[in-house]
Structure 1
Amino acid sequence: MKSLIATLARSAACLIVGTAPAFAHFQEIIPSADVLPKGGNVALDLVFTHPFEGGPVMDMKRPVQVGVLSGGKRTDLAAALVEKPVAGSMAWTLTHEIAEPGAEIFYVEPQPYFEPAENKLIVHYAKVVVDGFASGEGWDELVGLPVEIQPLTRPTGLWTGNLFSGVVLKDGKPVPFAEIEVEFVNEGKVQAPNDAFVTQVIKADANGTFSYAMPRGGWWGFAALVESDTPGKAPDGKDVPIEQGGLIWVKATDMPTAP
Structure 2
Amino acid sequence: MGQGISTRPHQALLGILLMTALGAQAHFQELIPSTDILTGETGSRIALALKFTHPMERGPVMPMGMPKRFAVVGPDGEEDLIDQLESEAIDGKEAFHAEYQVRQPGDYIFYVEPAPYWEPAEGVMIVHYTKVVVDAFGAEQGWDRELGLPVEILPLTRPYGLWSGNLFRGIVKQNGEPVAFAEVEVEWRNDGSITPPSDPYITQVVKADANGVFSYAMPHSGWWGFAALLEGDAPMESPAGEPVPVEAGALMWVHVRDMR
TM-score by length of structure 2 reads 0.90
Amino acid at match of 2:38: L
What are the superposed Cα offsets for residues 66-107 of structure 1, whole Å, 9 maximum, x if unpaired? 000012611000111111221110000000011211100000
Change (3 A) 1:105 1:36: same
Tell me how far 1:230 sits from its aligned partner.
Answer: 1.3
The Cα shift of 1:229 comes to: 2.3
Partners of 1:101 and 1:135 within 8 A in 2: yes
Quote the Cα distance in structure 2 between the aligned partners of 1:62 and 1:229: 22
Mean alpha-carbon deviation: is it higher for 68-77 or for 153-162?
Answer: 68-77
TM alignment of 1:80-91, pairs within 5 A: 80-91=84-95
Letter in 1 for 2:39: P
The one of 131, 150, 157 aligned to 2:161: 157
* Corresponding position of 2:9: none
Other structure's SS at 1:136 match: coil
SS class of match (2:83): helix
- Mapped partners of 2:246, 2:224: distance in 1: 24
Question: Which among 55, 60, 76 is matched to residue 56 of structure 1?
Answer: 60
Give the structure 2 partner of residue 147 of structure 1: 151
Q: Which residue among 229, 249, 260 is the counterpart of 1:225?
A: 229
Asked whether 1:200 is paired with 2:204, we answer yes
* Alignment counterpart, residue 47 of structure 1, candidates 43, 46, 51: 51
Give 1:176's match in structure 2, choosing from 173, 180, 183: 180
Partner amino acid, structure 1, of 2:78: R
User: Distance in 2 between the 1:72 and 1:136 partners?
Assistant: 15
1:76 aligned partner:
80
Q: Does the 8 A contact of 1:99 with 1:132 survive in 2?
A: no
Q: Which runs of at least 4 in structure 1 moved beyond 3 Å after TM superposition? A: 18-21
Residue equivalent to 2:104: 100
Q: 1:41 to 1:196 in 2, by over 3 A?
A: same
Q: Tell me, yes or no, if structure 1 residue 33 matches structure 2 residue 35.
A: yes
The answer as to whether partners of 1:109 and 1:124 remain within 8 angstroms in 2 is: yes
> How far 1:177 moved relative to its partner?
0.5
**Counterparts of 1:21 and 1:214 in 2: how far apart (Å)?**
27
Cα deviation 1:47-77 (Å, max 9, x = unaligned): 0000001111000011001000012611000
Greater displacement, 219-228 / 68-77 = 68-77
**Residue matched to 1:15:** none
Aligned length: 239
Residues 1:199 and 1:162: Cα distance change in structure 2 (over 3 Å): same
State the Cα RMSD in Å.
Answer: 1.2
Evaluate the alpha carbon distance shift between residue 36 and residue 208 of structure 1 in structure 2; reply closer, same or farther with a 3 A threshold. Answer: same
The 3-state SS of whatever aligns with 2:94 is coil
TM-score normalised according to structure 1 size: 0.90
Pairing 1:122-141 to 2, within 5 Å after superposition: 122-141=126-145
CA contact (8 A) 2:46 2:99 kept: yes
Q: Which residue of 2 aligns with 1:214?
A: 218
**SS of 1:236 mapped into structure 2:** coil
Residue 156 of structure 1, CA deviation:
0.6
Deviation of the 1:20 alpha carbon:
5.5
Q: Is the 8 A contact 2:56 2:188 kept in 1?
A: yes
